[in-house]
Amino acid sequence: MKKLVMSMLVISLLFGMGTQIGQAEEQLEGTITMSGAWALYPMAVKWGEEFQKIHPNVKLDIAAGGAGKGMADALAQVVDIGMVSRDVNPAEIEKGAWWVSVTKDAVVPTVNAQNPLLAELLAKGVTKEAFIKIWGTGEITTWGEVIGQEAKHDIHVYTRSDACGAAEIWAKFLDNRKQEDLGGVGVYGDPGLAEAVKKDALGIGFNNINFAYDARTKTPIEGIKILPIDINGNGQIDQDENFYNTQDEIVAAIANGKYPSPPARALHFVSQGKPTSKVVIEFIKWVLTEGQQYVPEAGYINLTQESLQEGLEKIEQ
């Protein structure tokens, strides 16, 4: 009889604990609003979907629009979290910007798959100095000049028209320039820039990797090729510089430091001051812990444990 009573007591305690846990999860409810960087948008959507499976009473409203919009919306408290794909600058910190880094990716240069000199471009790559002369100074105007040939095909240069982290980090790669220093035809958004290059056989642009590669096949999106960077400047793409064929290869190159930083960079969640909403705090904590398991499958790169711990300490202070 005593054994029966004890068993029932244990079951009752366990049931009570389970109920309390379930109630705790049910009590986590509300809406989290986010806007900003195209670079972070696919990852944020994935995190939102997985978080809602655990907390079905939480709604996430996530919109892309560029890092500039994300920062402006966060500082104006239009959204709970701004998605920012560039460094947070001192002026923004003075206005109250609080941030944590959540993952990492990179920007890659892109060309049309029908470029008349594609084979040579893929074999030789393009040096940082040549990119500077294409986007920065305008000294290089033909594709032949890029690879040292007489070909007179004009280069059609594209850039981003919206204030964004992709353009900012690409400009930073080009000897610490700013987005406004980049020449070319301005196009809105990551998808728009990819589409512009896709439609122009002589076009050149740049994209965040999740908009340069097909999410299903992990290869460059149809009609576009990734233009390799000749990192060591020896006039050819060496074996250890050849990591653009699939998204998995470029992700590995970013993770192990073979792909330069910039244009590789960390991506951030930003808010006006440290968040005070319980649901927002718990979401950020989950992203920095359990949510990290979804980073590789979404085509992003995990931050170091040290960086993630630093973020946790900031949100828990």
For 216, the 3-state DSSP assignment is: coil
pLDDT value of residue 21:
38
Classify domain 106-255 at the CATH superfamily level. Periplasmic binding protein-like II (3.40.190.10)
Task: Using 50 as the pLDDT threshold, list the residues of the chain that sit under it.
Answer: 1-26
Q: Alpha-carbon distance 252 to 123, whole Å? A: 21
2-105+265-316: CATH, from 3.20.20.150, 3.30.300.130, 3.40.50.720, 3.40.190.10: 3.40.190.10
pLDDT value of residue 255:
93
- Element of type H or E holding 24: helix 2-27
For residue 315, give both structure tokens. Answer: 């949100």
**In the chain, where does the domain assigned CATH 3.40.190.10 lie?**
2-105+265-316, 106-255
pLDDT value of residue 270:
98
Q: Which residues contact 126 (CB under 8 A, 6 or more apart)?
A: 109, 146, 227, 228, 229, 230
Could you tell me the pTM of the whole model? 0.86
What's the chain's Rg over C-alpha atoms? Answer: 23
pLDDT value of residue 260:
96
- DSSP class of residue 184 equals S
pLDDT value of residue 90:
95
pLDDT value of residue 23:
40
Alpha helix positions (H), 28-164? 41-54, 67-75, 90-94, 118-124, 128-131, 143-147
